[in-house]
Structure 1
Amino acid sequence: MSDADRHRIITDLLKERPFASVRDLQERLGVSAATIRRDIDKLDEIGKARKVYGGISASDGASSNRIAARSYDENRDIAVEAKRAIAEKAAGLVRDGDSIIVHAGSTCYQLGLALARRNVRIYTNSMPLAAYLGEHGTCHLTIAGGELYREPRIIHDPTAGPPHFFASRFFVGTQGIGSEGLLESHPLLTKAINELATCADEIVLLADSRKLSIQPRNLVMALSRISTIVIDDGLTDADAKMLEDAGVTILIAHAGTSGNGGAN
């Protein structure tokens, strides 16, 4: 298969989905990771796509009308190295004795794992995180009440309103980030996030840099409500300026140099 053939297949794939990891492309094209990285560099250089941590995304705006929420299981296996680095960096913001809220989502799940045996109080609406902490953690755990929504794996009572839990920080993930704020495809997540945001002094966003190229349809909250973002070192200068102009403090998590990103 020629370089041109691989480039065409990659760009066609990005018309259907906003992101493809190096592993995704290796499996689809049957070539080495080194070859895929050269292809990504070339497509980024000529403006056909955008190089991001762990893989490649559609050029800005190219797939905004086709964004759909990934399943939890699919998202969990994307950019894992970046998510773990983000979680470790975010865990450094938490002091022993703190009460925090950890929202659902794969990056927040990694934060929960990092805090599982710390002397902290954690409130979560994440079914996978609650199950892990219940079995393996020693932290004080409070679980959201209500119904289980298997996608996006959260526990929520749509009639209850905000929980009676007060936290110093609310750690939240997002499907996408734009100049207007945090974006989600699933309206239930929009409601749940805004309810939990009223229960904390500070909102900390955990997001890998792919999220800045994804534009779902539902606005969750303005960037000005976010105090801090913990993000990997794939953040561009332009996106960093957008965040700083909104008053967001940026903490960079360095995830190493392997760049395979797909072991969300």
Structure 2
Amino acid sequence: MFPEERRQKLISALEEHYSMSVSGLAERLGVSEATIRRDLNELQKLGVIRRTHGGALLASPRKFEPTYTDKKDRFLVQKQKIGRVAAGLVEDGETVILDAGTTTLQMVRHLKEKKNITVITNALSIIEEMEANEELDLVVIGGRLRFSTRALVGPMAEENLRNFHADKVFIAANGCTIKEGLTTPNLTEAYTKRAMVKAGSKVIAVLDHSKFGEVSLTTIAPLTEIDVIVTDDGIDKKLQKEMEQMGIEVIIAE
């Protein structure tokens, strides 16, 4: 079992029982107590859990993760606008990474109008949308398939991403706040998204207004690592100003 998978199972155990001892977690996961302690230390650094005497509990309740099907039609008009504007940031000849998400999917048909574009992605929906277009150079990140989000994730995906360098990375998230940055409910998916962020010269978050003010289980990246946010006009203007004061370019898709 890969460390990310084991840590996700550890989190699931804490969600079920709220608080568990190191020995109880070790028995449940079939690993040594030393391994559990290392995992807990890592998860505590990420802000996912809080250590207790002899055990741990979740730092905050985990929020429900909607499936791809649940999300694909939600705020569709706004996502279409965001996708068009985000695609407009891509120049001919560039290499871009497209994260799995219903908003990044909306970029694809506009990217088809570009010349000599290389698209690196872990999203089945984007692969399916692009597969018939011979004008675009498509690179698929391998990994374990998460059926709920239709994304290839995990250590294989992260290792592949370490071999790439992209001009721009377009990242999706379930939540965004000034304090917590970009967040997502699944730890394994968060690690893959972090590898994407590290692989790009410019990081662009594509988020409809419903994601702002929301916090999911674990942080993908702090806002200090985000260069541009493309969103819709439903964003809170005060929050927009705060992010702009941080040096983030906020683009409103209209």
Distance 1:154 1:66, change over 3 A: closer
Which of residues 128, 131, 147 in structure 2 aligns to 1:131? 128
Which letter does structure 2 place at the counterpart of 1:193? K
Partners of 1:133 and 1:116 in 2: CA distance: 8
Q: Tell me which residue corresponds to 1:39.
A: none
Percentage of identical aligned residues: 25
| Equivalent residue letter for 1:132 | E
Q: Name the TM-score, length of structure 1 as normaliser.
A: 0.68
For structure 1, the residue ranges without an aligned partner over 5 or more in a row are 1-63, 255-264
Deviations, residues 8-53 of structure 1 (Å, cap 9, x unaligned):
xxxxxxxxxxxxxxxxxxxxxxxxxxxxxxxxxxxxxxxxxxxxxx
The answer to whether the 8 Å contact 1:228/1:248 transfers is: yes
Deviation at 1:125, TM superposition (A): 0.5
Contact 2:62 2:185 (C-alpha < 8 Å) held by counterparts: no
Counterpart of 1:170 in 2: which secondary structure?
strand
1:218-262 Cα offsets, whole Å, 9 max, x none, are: 1111001000001101111211122123221111101xxxxxxxx
Match of 1:77 in 2: 73
Does the CA contact (< 8 Å) of 1:144 and 1:163 recur in 2? Answer: no
SS at match of 1:193: helix
What CA distance in whole angstroms lies between the structure 2 residues aligned with 1:244 and 1:137? 38
Once residues 157 and 135 of structure 1 are traced to their aligned partners in structure 2, the CA distance between those partners, rounded to angstroms, is: 27
Aligned to 1:213: 213
Tell me the equivalent position of 2:188.
188
AA paired with 2:170?
F
Once the 2 structures are TM-superposed, how far is the Cα of residue 96 of structure 1 from its aligned partner? Answer: 0.8
Letter of the 1:177 counterpart: C
CA distance in 1: counterparts of 2:166 and 2:63, whole angstroms: 32
CA distance in 1, matches of 2:171, 2:212: 15
Mapping for residues 154-173 of structure 1, pairs under 5 Å: 154-159=151-156, 161=159, 162-173=161-172
Cα distance in 2 for partners of 1:183, 1:83 equals 19
TM-score, normalising length: structure 2: 0.71
- 1:102–1:112 CA contact under 8 A, matched in 2: no
Q: 2: CA distance between counterparts of 1:137 and 1:187?
A: 34
State the partner residue of 1:42.
Answer: none
Moved over 4 A (4+): none
User: How many angstroms apart in 1 are the aligned matches of 2:253 and 2:113?
Assistant: 22
**Is the contact made by 1:117 and 1:139 (CA closer than 8 Å) also made in structure 2?**
no
Cα distance, 1:167–1:213 mapped onto 2, change above 3 Å = same
Residues 183-229 of structure 1, C-alpha deviations (whole Å, 9 max, x = no match): 11111221011111111101001001111132212111100100000
Paired with 2:134 and 2:99, the residues of 1 have a C-alpha distance of 17
Which residue does the alignment assign to 1:252? 252
Residue in structure 1 matched with residue 64 of structure 2 by the alignment: 68
The Cα shift of 1:157 comes to 4.3
**CA distance in structure 2 between the partners assigned to 1:113 and 1:188 by the alignment:** 29
Answer whether contact 1:72 1:105 (CA < 8 A) is retained. Answer: yes
Q: Amino acid of the residue matched to residue 141 of structure 1?
A: L
SS in 2 for 1:101: strand
Q: 1:50 maps to what in 2?
A: none
CA contact (8 A) 2:141 2:152 kept: yes
For these two proteins, the number of residue pairs brought into alignment is 191
Q: Is the 8 A contact 1:117 1:137 kept in 2?
A: no
CA RMSD between the two structures: 1.7
Distance 1:145 1:233, change over 3 A: same
State the partner residue of 1:87: 83
2:108 is equivalent to residue 112 of structure 1? yes
Range with greater deviation from structure 2 (107-116 or 123-132):
107-116
- Is there any run of 5+ residues in structure 2 with no aligned partner, and where? 1-59
Q: Report if the CA contact (8 A) 2:154-2:192 is conserved.
A: no
